Amino acid sequence: MPPGALTDERDVREAYSAHAPELYGFAVRSLGDSGLAEEAVQETFLRAWRAGERFDPQIGSLRTWLFAILRNVVIDLGRARAARPGVAEKGIEPSVEPFDEALLSWQIEEAMRRIGEQHRRVLVETYYRGRPYAEVAEELGVPEGTVKSRVYYGLRALRVVLEEMGYED
């Protein structure tokens, strides 16, 4: 059994407090239903615990491993629903493609939530809303150079957060 394996109930509790908010947030975002998301997160931690001896932190982070399990859970949920249209309340795509795309979106959005408000604000205004820097600067009551520098530090902060989250290009 590799050191750091998830064998104890305490290990699972720790893993839960560290990663459940993210897994749940993502599950809600991708499944579009909080009940289903709860089900998926519960199943993810149960499977993680059952397979806990196989988890090796040398190979990958706990977070990555949990997301990989969640991915299988979501696929199983989708299959089960596809097989039983009578029971399905809301359709989920059983395909994997949307999962990976949704995960990518969610990671960037989560990183955006974690950077400072000032940084997020200028990225939203200049990038997502495509507004001119001068206009944004006036609205914020700061020089245009400050908006530019916030854009720079905002992207840097985003990079750091994505790295912390174990994001791989």
Partner 1 sequence: MKTDECRHWKEELGAYALGHLSREDRTRVEAHLEGCAACRAEADSLIGVARQLPHADPAQFGPAPEPPPELGKRIAATIGSERRAQRRRRQWRFGLGFGGAAAAAAAAAVLAIFVLGGGEGGEPEQHVAFNTLPKGVKIGATLKPQAFGTEIHMYVKGIRSGTLCRVYMRGPDGRDVSAGTFRYRWGGDSDATLAAALDLSRAEALVVHAGRRTFVAPLDRGATTDRNSPQEEEST
Q: Which residues bind partner 1 (CB under 8 A)?
A: 9, 12-13, 16-17, 20-21, 24-25, 28-29, 34-35, 37-39, 41-43, 45-46, 49-50, 76, 79-80, 83-87, 101, 104-106, 108-110, 112-113, 120, 123-124, 126-129, 133, 145, 148-156, 158-159, 162, 169
Task: Please report the sign of the dihedral spanned by the C-alpha atoms of residue 101, residue 106, residue 107, residue 112.
Answer: positive
Burial of residue 92 (CB within 10 Å: 0-12, 13-18, 19+) is buried
**Whole-angstrom distance, CA of residue 51 vs CA of residue 156:** 37
Minimum CB separation of residue 61 from partner 1 in Å reads 19
The minimum distance between CB 11 and partner 1, in angstroms, equals 10
Q: CB nearer to partner 1: give 89 or 141.
A: 89
Quick one: 59 or 164, whose CB is closer to partner 1? Answer: 164
| R_g of the chain computed on alpha carbons | 20
Q: Is the dihedral of CA 78, 84, 85, 88 positive or negative?
A: negative
Q: Choose between 64 and 79: whose C-beta lies nearer to partner 1.
A: 79
Distance CA 36, CA 48 (A): 18
Minimum distance from residue 113 beta carbon to partner 1 (Å): 6
CB of 38 to partner 1, least distance (A): 5
